[in-house]
Amino acid sequence: MENVGIVRLYLLRAMYLLIAFGLGTSVIPHVITTSGDLVDPHTVINSILIGFFFMALLGIRYPLKMLPILLLELVWKSFWLLVFALPMYLNHELDQYTRDVAFACVMGVVLTPLVVPWGYVINHYVLAKGSAWR
């Protein structure tokens, strides 16, 4: 698959599976139990996470085509850690929920760069013909 080794493809698939498993075990039960309740910001967030769950499932089958999902994961988790969790940590204000989310975010920020084929990303998203970066 376009100069990406088989080991890297299986690492990508494992990452998509990890994301799908995490979202499937944490978000889907909550959505099922609260379906039909009043609409609030949590329903929007959970709907986005369910969409992310299905995109991660597609990533298991199409690991390179779904790379933007992993890049989105890297960006939003890095942003959340720097803008929200770090100031709370520095002010000694981390509650249990924030610690749990921070742990999941740190896992994503550490693991995602290890599995992403950066050469492929640069060639297909940065240097590609018609790219805004060229």
- Write the burial class of residue 12 (CB in 10 Å: 0-12 exposed, 13-18 middle, 19+ buried): buried
More confident residue, 8 or 132: 8
List, for residues 17-38, the tens digit of each pLDDT value: 999 999 999 998 888 887 777 7
- With 60 as the cut, is the pLDDT of residue 92 above it? yes
Average pLDDT of span 80-95: 95
CB 15 within 8 A of CB 114: no
pLDDT for 132 equals 64
Determine if the pTM surpasses 0.85.
Answer: yes
Strands (E), the chain: none
